[in-house]
Amino acid sequence: MKGIYKTSHNVYVIMEYCPDGDLQGLLKKKKKKKKTFNEGEAMSVLNCLLEGVAYLAENGIWHRDVKPSNILIKGDKYKICDYGFTTIVECDPTSVRDFTKVGTPLYCCPQILQGVSYSSKCDVFSIGVILYQMLFQRFPWKAQSLSELAEKVASQKIKYKDKISEEMKYILK
Protein backbone atom coordinates (compact mmCIF):
# COMPACT_ATOMS: atom_id res chain seq x y z
CA MET A 1 0.00 0.00 0.00
CA LYS A 2 1.40 3.37 -1.01
CA GLY A 3 -1.19 5.53 0.64
CA ILE A 4 -4.74 5.94 1.84
CA TYR A 5 -7.10 8.84 1.25
CA LYS A 6 -10.45 9.41 2.89
CA THR A 7 -13.36 11.54 1.84
CA SER A 8 -16.66 11.93 3.64
CA HIS A 9 -18.08 8.98 1.63
CA ASN A 10 -15.14 6.85 0.51
CA VAL A 11 -11.75 5.45 1.43
CA TYR A 12 -9.21 5.15 -1.38
CA VAL A 13 -6.30 2.74 -1.07
CA ILE A 14 -3.37 3.54 -3.34
CA MET A 15 -1.36 0.44 -4.21
CA GLU A 16 1.79 -0.06 -6.21
CA TYR A 17 1.46 -0.91 -9.88
CA CYS A 18 1.52 -4.66 -10.52
CA PRO A 19 2.20 -5.13 -14.25
CA ASP A 20 1.86 -8.91 -14.34
CA GLY A 21 -1.93 -9.08 -13.98
CA ASP A 22 -3.78 -11.14 -11.43
CA LEU A 23 -3.85 -14.75 -10.30
CA GLN A 24 -7.17 -15.36 -12.09
CA GLY A 25 -5.54 -14.45 -15.42
CA LEU A 26 -2.57 -16.70 -14.68
CA LEU A 27 -4.90 -19.60 -13.83
CA LYS A 28 -6.72 -19.08 -17.14
CA LYS A 29 -3.44 -19.06 -19.11
CA LYS A 30 -2.36 -22.29 -17.45
CA LYS A 31 -5.77 -23.88 -18.06
CA LYS A 32 -5.57 -23.10 -21.80
CA LYS A 33 -2.26 -24.96 -21.85
CA LYS A 34 -3.80 -27.76 -19.74
CA LYS A 35 -1.32 -27.04 -16.94
CA THR A 36 -1.53 -26.52 -13.22
CA PHE A 37 0.87 -25.03 -10.71
CA ASN A 38 3.43 -27.52 -9.48
CA GLU A 39 3.68 -27.86 -5.71
CA GLY A 40 6.72 -25.57 -5.48
CA GLU A 41 5.02 -22.79 -7.45
CA ALA A 42 1.84 -23.21 -5.41
CA MET A 43 3.77 -23.02 -2.13
CA SER A 44 5.45 -19.81 -3.29
CA VAL A 45 2.06 -18.20 -3.90
CA LEU A 46 0.70 -19.67 -0.66
CA ASN A 47 3.52 -18.11 1.36
CA CYS A 48 2.86 -14.64 -0.11
CA LEU A 49 -0.86 -14.89 0.57
CA LEU A 50 -0.43 -16.17 4.12
CA GLU A 51 2.01 -13.35 4.88
CA GLY A 52 -0.59 -10.89 3.57
CA VAL A 53 -3.55 -12.18 5.57
CA ALA A 54 -1.38 -12.60 8.68
CA TYR A 55 -0.39 -8.94 8.43
CA LEU A 56 -4.04 -7.94 7.99
CA ALA A 57 -5.18 -10.08 10.94
CA GLU A 58 -2.41 -8.72 13.18
CA ASN A 59 -3.81 -5.26 12.44
CA GLY A 60 -7.42 -6.27 13.10
CA ILE A 61 -8.41 -6.44 9.43
CA TRP A 62 -10.39 -9.25 7.83
CA HIS A 63 -10.39 -9.13 4.01
CA ARG A 64 -13.36 -11.50 3.52
CA ASP A 65 -13.05 -11.76 -0.28
CA VAL A 66 -9.68 -13.36 -0.99
CA LYS A 67 -9.92 -14.90 -4.47
CA PRO A 68 -7.66 -15.13 -7.55
CA SER A 69 -9.00 -11.97 -9.20
CA ASN A 70 -8.14 -10.06 -5.99
CA ILE A 71 -4.51 -11.15 -6.06
CA LEU A 72 -2.20 -9.00 -8.14
CA ILE A 73 1.16 -10.19 -9.44
CA LYS A 74 4.41 -8.28 -9.56
CA GLY A 75 7.31 -10.55 -10.51
CA ASP A 76 7.36 -13.38 -8.01
CA LYS A 77 5.23 -11.50 -5.47
CA TYR A 78 1.48 -11.94 -5.05
CA LYS A 79 -0.40 -9.06 -3.45
CA ILE A 80 -3.91 -9.00 -2.06
CA CYS A 81 -6.09 -6.17 -3.36
CA ASP A 82 -9.76 -5.07 -3.45
CA TYR A 83 -10.65 -4.24 0.11
CA GLY A 84 -14.34 -3.60 -0.62
CA PHE A 85 -15.60 -6.27 1.83
CA THR A 86 -12.92 -5.66 4.44
CA THR A 87 -13.87 -5.15 8.04
CA ILE A 88 -11.78 -3.65 10.80
CA VAL A 89 -12.08 -5.44 14.11
CA GLU A 90 -11.62 -3.21 17.15
CA CYS A 91 -10.89 -6.09 19.52
CA ASP A 92 -8.76 -9.24 19.43
CA PRO A 93 -8.29 -10.01 15.71
CA THR A 94 -8.69 -13.74 16.32
CA SER A 95 -12.05 -13.28 18.01
CA VAL A 96 -15.21 -14.72 16.54
CA ARG A 97 -17.80 -12.02 16.17
CA ASP A 98 -18.88 -11.27 12.62
CA PHE A 99 -22.07 -12.63 11.04
CA THR A 100 -22.09 -10.64 7.78
CA LYS A 101 -22.54 -12.77 4.67
CA VAL A 102 -19.99 -11.32 2.25
CA GLY A 103 -17.47 -12.57 -0.27
CA THR A 104 -17.49 -14.82 -3.30
CA PRO A 105 -19.32 -18.06 -2.37
CA LEU A 106 -16.86 -20.52 -3.95
CA TYR A 107 -14.11 -19.11 -1.70
CA CYS A 108 -16.17 -18.60 1.48
CA CYS A 109 -15.68 -20.56 4.67
CA PRO A 110 -18.59 -22.70 5.91
CA GLN A 111 -19.44 -20.20 8.66
CA ILE A 112 -19.98 -17.33 6.18
CA LEU A 113 -22.06 -19.58 3.91
CA GLN A 114 -24.19 -20.66 6.89
CA GLY A 115 -24.58 -17.12 8.23
CA VAL A 116 -23.03 -17.91 11.60
CA SER A 117 -20.18 -16.18 13.41
CA TYR A 118 -16.68 -16.39 11.93
CA SER A 119 -13.21 -14.98 12.49
CA SER A 120 -10.16 -13.82 10.56
CA LYS A 121 -9.62 -17.49 9.70
CA CYS A 122 -12.18 -16.99 6.92
CA ASP A 123 -9.31 -15.54 4.84
CA VAL A 124 -7.14 -18.61 5.48
CA PHE A 125 -9.97 -20.86 4.29
CA SER A 126 -10.21 -18.83 1.06
CA ILE A 127 -6.49 -19.27 0.50
CA GLY A 128 -6.92 -23.03 0.90
CA VAL A 129 -9.53 -23.02 -1.87
CA ILE A 130 -7.14 -21.01 -4.05
CA LEU A 131 -4.35 -23.50 -3.34
CA TYR A 132 -6.61 -26.37 -4.41
CA GLN A 133 -7.56 -24.46 -7.56
CA MET A 134 -3.90 -23.84 -8.42
CA LEU A 135 -3.06 -27.53 -8.03
CA PHE A 136 -6.09 -29.03 -9.80
CA GLN A 137 -7.64 -26.28 -11.99
CA ARG A 138 -11.00 -26.90 -10.35
CA PHE A 139 -12.83 -26.18 -7.11
CA PRO A 140 -12.95 -28.67 -4.23
CA TRP A 141 -16.77 -28.78 -4.33
CA LYS A 142 -19.39 -28.75 -7.08
CA ALA A 143 -22.84 -27.39 -6.30
CA GLN A 144 -25.91 -26.15 -8.13
CA SER A 145 -27.04 -23.73 -5.45
CA LEU A 146 -25.70 -21.68 -2.56
CA SER A 147 -27.38 -23.95 -0.02
CA GLU A 148 -25.89 -27.07 -1.63
CA LEU A 149 -22.46 -25.40 -1.65
CA ALA A 150 -22.81 -24.47 2.04
CA GLU A 151 -23.72 -28.06 2.91
CA LYS A 152 -20.84 -29.57 0.91
CA VAL A 153 -18.23 -27.14 2.21
CA ALA A 154 -19.30 -27.88 5.79
CA SER A 155 -19.49 -31.66 5.49
CA GLN A 156 -17.85 -33.11 2.38
CA LYS A 157 -14.22 -34.18 2.57
CA ILE A 158 -11.87 -32.91 -0.12
CA LYS A 159 -11.04 -35.45 -2.81
CA TYR A 160 -7.68 -35.67 -4.52
CA LYS A 161 -8.14 -37.22 -7.97
CA ASP A 162 -4.67 -36.14 -9.05
CA LYS A 163 -1.48 -37.16 -7.36
CA ILE A 164 -0.04 -34.74 -4.81
CA SER A 165 2.35 -35.24 -1.93
CA GLU A 166 1.17 -36.17 1.54
CA GLU A 167 2.54 -32.84 2.78
CA MET A 168 0.35 -30.94 0.32
CA LYS A 169 -2.70 -32.99 1.33
CA TYR A 170 -1.95 -32.05 4.96
CA ILE A 171 -1.68 -28.35 4.05
CA LEU A 172 -4.96 -28.45 2.12
CA LYS A 173 -6.69 -30.21 4.99
At 63 the pLDDT is: 86
92: confidence class by pLDDT, cuts 50, 70, 90: low
| pTM of the model as a whole | 0.85
Q: Compute the mean pLDDT over every residue in the chain, rounded to the nearest whole number.
A: 85
Tens digit of pLDDT for each residue in 100-113?
Answer: 666 777 888 777 77
**Any idea what DSSP says for residue 69?**
G
> Which residues are catalytically annotated?
65
Which of these, 85, 55, 44, lies nearest to 67 by C-alpha position?
Answer: 85
State percent of the chain over pLDDT 90: 44
At 91 the pLDDT is: 57
Torsion over CA of 12, 18, 22 and 28, rounded to 10 degrees?
A: 150
CATH class label, 21-172 = mainly alpha
Residue ranges of domains in the chain: 21-172
**Residues β-bridged to residue 154:** none
146: confidence class by pLDDT, cuts 50, 70, 90: confident
123: confidence class by pLDDT, cuts 50, 70, 90: confident
> Is the predicted pLDDT of residue 4 greater than 70, yes or no?
yes
